[in-house]
Copies of this chain bind each other. A is one copy, B any other.
Amino acid sequence: MLSNHFQNGMETARFVWSRLPHSEEGELEGAGLLSSESNKNCAESLDYEVLENYAYREEQAQRGKLFVGYNVGVKWFFALLIGIGTGLAAVFINISVENFAGWKFALTFNIIQKSYLAGFLIYILINLALVFSSVYIITQFAPAAAGSGIPEIKGYLNGIDIPGILLFRTLIGKIFGSIGSVGGGLALGKEGPLVHTGACIASLLGQGGSTKYHLSSRWLQGFKSDRDRRDLVTCGCAAGVAAAFRAPVGGVLFALEEVTSWWRSQLMWRVFFTSAIVAVVVRAAMGWCKSGNCGHFGSGGFIIWDISDGQEDYSFEELLPMAVIGVIGGLLGALFNQLTIYVTRWRRNYLHKKGSRVKIYEACLISVITSVISFGLPLLRKCSPCPDSDPDSEIECPRAPGMYGNYVNFYCSKDKEYNDLATIFFNTQDDAIRNLFSAKTIHEFSTQSLLTFLVMFYTLAVVTFGTAVPAGQFVPGIMIGSTYGRLVGIFTVNHYKKLNIEEGTYALLGAASFLGGSMRMTVSLCVIMVEITNNLKLLPLIMLVLLISKAVGDAFNEGLYEEQARLRGIPLLESRPKYEMRKMTAREACGNQKVLSLPRVVKVADVVSILRCNKHNGFPVIDHTRNGEPLVIGIMLRSHLLVLLQSKIDFQHSPLPCDPKGGSRAIRFTIFSAN
């Protein structure tokens, strides 16, 4: 029926070496009995490299230099578009979140001047509304947009295609969902979702737009091979990190270290370009917003938590408390990973089975609890008197209501007092981190407040993880880490009174250690931490803390993303085989499953029979040596066989040995109608 598509040998060739594109509308379902049915719900594997065969080489040989040049041009143009798109998405999310949150806190502060109860209720209601909008979008419209998305992207770049993760509606769900969930004050961040957003933008560009929503453009559909698509998604990931943390180099390294299992050195250059574009776009938008066009957004500068005026130097006595921070980070990070595994498993087995209504209730309940804790606990805390103001530092105490900064006056009886718990708890996470990192604020936070916050926020982060909203773990991780870092800092300042130590430095190291202990990243995390704080002098310290926390964490379990990927059934290929696998042969790995192989020359009927009898997606082709030993000479994919069968001959009248119902119609593949 569509065989006229294949009159042209070139077209056929292109199909034979490319993978069948993953369609978002499920149109491939018509491919019927011959295509493997196991593909529908679970992961499908992608090709690591372009499949080289005669057809591919033939096509490559026919390509002129012009075509190669055009292809390179398109790739760079796409890198540019990904950069611009991801940058704009990040700006949009940031503007929305900061304005929702800023408005929420301003309103609440206004109301509590009159009545704390009314303020409390308003605060809970606004949060609830925002979280509800987020969870509603996710459950009703884009279920694949829940969570951070990084494990899925990691899986994709590792060679596993999970249906639904790179669709247009996932993109939309991710953007609007994370505005609601982050604006609603839950213990989660917008950074992970931004990585997923970048990847979605990249993937949609690679497909030439969304076919379902008629946004596709045929002339952009140049990327047929898995490798080219994976390259684009890699660019998208880097762009996401670059946009989320305003850390362009960190983005490149994140894509390199954490995400791509299959890095090609040519790619680095292009990923770098994308990150640079993101930085320029975000910076330009922030410059435009400085004039007050975007409300609260853009006031903080390009560096998110600038501590370049903090501690300049360190002495060797400090290495011990810093090592302690590393160990704590490793332990708490590993514990976090372990707890989230239990919570996710419990949720999947008992809670989320009951449908999307339960997911909505759950998210709303967590929102209410979070609001109650973050408003209620500071109420119970006694206020402290303001420290003697230092004429050098420009930090006001208490700060003016509705402004950002340290020293919040919240439920205090006197004017010259501040509530240290409210300074971190009743605040946006960005501001809380800024306060924790801040220099020249020694002993602003009491040990008791920090401990309370640590325990409560840690619990909230674990419980929130896995709800049906877009959720990143970076910012919660930084919050947790900087809290215990500052705790250690307090002890260090008390112990080494002579040294010029800033508690904010320890908060930063704590943040790095917790992220290292949980996510187990190294170079990229290090660069991201430096880029978001703008203090290069602490780099060696961050490196050492990360080394310790990763080593400690690795003793207990795997990284957060690896564990989550395993829970979701994404089979990540590790770079190094396990000890038990060193002696394993392919035969042992197969277990009871028999490998079906094809001989070098095979009858069409046999092929069809083999295809129908099993669900395998690849068939080794076997030849024999003279003394009868079998030798593998290549591999044939199911999809290739299907294309060959379809494009060559009409098999309507041949008998099918393996089809119990005997119908010959089943062979009229509709597989190419998607095109």
Contact of A547 among B256, B276, B531, B625 (CB under 8 A): B276
Cβ B522 vs Cβ A266 within 8 A: no
Q: Which residues of the other chain, B, contact A534 by a CB distance below 8 angstroms? A: 536-537
A263-B263, A623-B631 known; A272-B537 Cβ under 8 A: no
Contact of A268 among B61, B257, B625 (CB under 8 A): B257
Tell whether A544 is near chain B: CB-to-CB under 8 Å: yes
Q: Distance in Å from the Cβ of A580 to the closest Cβ of chain B? A: 10
Q: Which residues of the other chain, B, contact A12 by a CB distance below 8 angstroms? A: none
Cβ B543 vs Cβ A583 within 8 A: no
A308–B536 Cα gap in the complex (Å)? Answer: 10
Tell whether A219 is near chain B: CB-to-CB under 8 Å: no
Q: Determine which residue in A249, A257, A550 has the highest number of CB atoms from chain B within 10 A of its CB, and name it.
A: A249
8 contacts between A and B (CB under 8 A): A268-B523, A284-B316, A527-B527, A531-B539, A623-B631, A625-B625, A625-B631, A631-B631
User: Which DSSP category, helix, strand, loop or mixed, fits chain A's interface?
Assistant: helix
A556–B526 Cα gap in the complex (Å)? Answer: 36
Tell whether A626 is near chain B: CB-to-CB under 8 Å: yes
Cβ B252 vs Cβ A523 within 8 A: yes
Q: Mark A255-281, 1 if CB is under 8 A from B, else 0.
A: 011000101111011001101100110
Cβ A249 vs Cβ B523 within 8 A: yes
A633–B624 Cα gap in the complex (Å)? Answer: 12
Tell whether A333 is near chain B: CB-to-CB under 8 Å: no
Tell whether A592 is near chain B: CB-to-CB under 8 Å: no
Q: Which residues of the other chain, B, contact A350 by a CB distance below 8 angstroms? A: none
Closest B residue to A314 using CB positions: B283
Tell whether A579 is near chain B: CB-to-CB under 8 Å: yes
Q: Distance in Å from the Cβ of A279 to the closest Cβ of chain B? A: 4
Instruction: State the A residues within 8 Å of B (CB).
Output: 57, 60-61, 65, 68, 248-249, 252-253, 256-257, 261, 263-266, 268-269, 272-273, 275-276, 279-280, 283-284, 302-303, 308, 316, 522-523, 526-527, 530-531, 534, 536-537, 539-540, 543-544, 547, 550, 575-576, 579, 582-583, 623-626, 629, 631, 633
Contact of A276 among B60, B537, B540 (CB under 8 A): B540
Contact of A522 among B268, B543, B575, B624 (CB under 8 A): B268
Q: Which residues of the other chain, B, contact A576 by a CB distance below 8 angstroms? A: 266
Q: Distance in Å from the Cβ of A244 to the closest Cβ of chain B? A: 15
A283–B582 Cα gap in the complex (Å)? Answer: 42
Q: Distance in Å from the Cβ of A269 to the closest Cβ of chain B? A: 5
Q: Distance in Å from the Cβ of A251 to the closest Cβ of chain B? A: 10
Contact of A623 among B275, B308, B625 (CB under 8 A): B625
Contact of A624 among B57, B575, B626 (CB under 8 A): B626
A106–B673 Cα gap in the complex (Å)? Answer: 82
Cβ A279 vs Cβ B543 within 8 A: yes
Q: Distance in Å from the Cβ of A531 to the closest Cβ of chain B? A: 6
Closest B residue to A550 using CB positions: B269
A531-B536, A536-B531 known; A543-B276 Cβ under 8 A: yes
Q: Distance in Å from the Cβ of A581 to the closest Cβ of chain B? A: 11
Q: Which residues of the other chain, B, contact A629 by a CB distance below 8 angstroms? A: 623
